[in-house]
Structure 1
Amino acid sequence: MSKKLLLSIIVVLLITNVATMLFWKNDQTEPIVEDKEIDTKKPVATIDGEEVSYSDWIKSLQGNYGKKELKDLIDHQVVAKLAEDQNITISDKVIERDIAILTTMQGPISKESLQKLEQGWRNDIVYRYQLEALLADGNQVSEQEVETYYNKYHKQYQFDQSLQFSHILVSTMDTAEKVYAELEEGASFALLAKEYSIDEDSREAGGYLGFNSANTEFLPSNYFEIAAGLEEYSYSEPFVTSNGIAILYLHKSLPTIVFSYEELKPFIRNELALQASNQKLVADPLWEKLDINWIYGE
């Protein structure tokens, strides 16, 4: 296997692992009882009259998840403190690139839900890059090594414009205008797609077409021309395509993000330093830099 192919696989796996970690974490932090204060003196459940007390519940949570969650909290505070002491900051451009990658892994999602996800992603992206920088500190990587790596693999760090579409495709303008009128009255785009669309590949998914780049061969070229005049989370008027009459919905528009060598140099240097030292991306080695005491011991 070539080094380039291996590194590409590693990048894909890294992104997938990060996404999985972030999605799992978001699931775990959802409140169990929303918008309701818990009376700690009352049972949290009863089973055939037998009570499960609040203290039993907390002991179970602590036993199953307590150590991991506390360590994760300490790790993040350790990295944040050391990064502040060493003035390690992460550029907004890098953060937006990683958020864009994670966004492309989402299906149709509301603007509000995506904003909530993005905040969690942002915090964890900053943590990950600051952790890399702290662990790589002191490991020497030559300018030539960094430049050589950049020349070979810099395209892996760039992000191409990507548009998230749904559509309703029908055979006649009369049908398209009927569908458009229902949309204007507040009908669901996805439900109308299931009812009217003749595109069998996307109909059952509510017309969803996923994220697409402008050079895709699977969509009519004028979809991107129409999308240029749309705001996110809005739909077009009916228009003629090579396959019929379409109404296009633009969920999300992600712009091209391109990095110069100077912008990527510190991140590549950190990656190469960690590779050379076989350093795992964990905060454990940083604990010794601070005075840390916790209930689980040394």
Structure 2
Amino acid sequence: MKIAVLDGYSLETGKGSPWTPLGEFAEYVVYDRTPAEATVERSAGAEVLVTNKVVIGEAELAQLPDVKLIAVTAAGTNVVDHAAAGKRGIPVCNTPAYGTDAVAQHVFALILELCRRTSLHHASVLDGEWSRRGDFCYWLTPQMELTGKTLGVFGFGNLGRRVAELGHAFRMNVIACAHRETEEPGWAPFEFVSKEELFRRADVISLHCPLTEETRGLVCAETLAMMKPGALLINTARGPVVNSRDAAEALRSGRLGGFGTDVLEQEPPAADEPLFTAPNVIITPHIAWATDGARGNIVNITLENIRAWRRGEPQNVVNRGFLKS
């Protein structure tokens, strides 16, 4: 059996290749990055394809008759054509819940930075501002406290639930909009609400939904207009869930008090990305998931996905509805 890892660079930690355990299965090859025009050539003869961002669509699969499993090293699997894989009896497996704590902690890193602007104040101290002022303290921005504020969590899977728990620990009032029926957490105050009520009531909104046709452009001029003036928005979901131009305009007008995002509509972004010139925005380069622990979890889940498939019991399959019987 041959395994082809098409973009393994993102899981490297500098502590030796994380892909060495693939040797338990058979022959394997690891490419740091694979351009679109090389996907078919590098995948030829492989029964298992491991991908993160390399697109595997109908055109590619039509030229790869040996593929029996596609393992995606992420929770989101929109880089794979589910129907095309299913038509060929190929399960597509993802790595769910690998970075729940890592991403939830990054959410609050963004929230706290918007509330307290610690990096801005640190830079001003090193620039001599504190020495020049002569006072025992100063602040350059309003200092916002989370206690008593309302946290709106849009999407209440494992990650949304963990963010809600952290919000509760900060003594925030938590409301959530769930995409499917799920149990309430065992603490209060908590309330399930509609999308519209969440956008109207929350002081801080954190997005935790998949990218679908329904959620693409979810945050736009219309939903931003529902929000409390000065409310904060956090996006660690997918970039296209937020319309960048509308968010930038809301920041400039003051309707949106701050925007912390780890993802953008286009990645890597163009030089003229509208958010680059907007005020009160914090942008990180899609790193919420990237702790050493989370990356190790991805490799371990991927290995177990391959083992389960070899046993004839594939797990974490995201295209079951498309698989031919």
Higher RCO (CA 8 Å, separation ≥ 6 residues):
1
Per the normalisation by structure 1, the TM-score is: 0.25
TM-score, normalised via structure 2 length:
0.24
* Structure with the largest fraction of helix: 1
Larger radius of gyration: 1
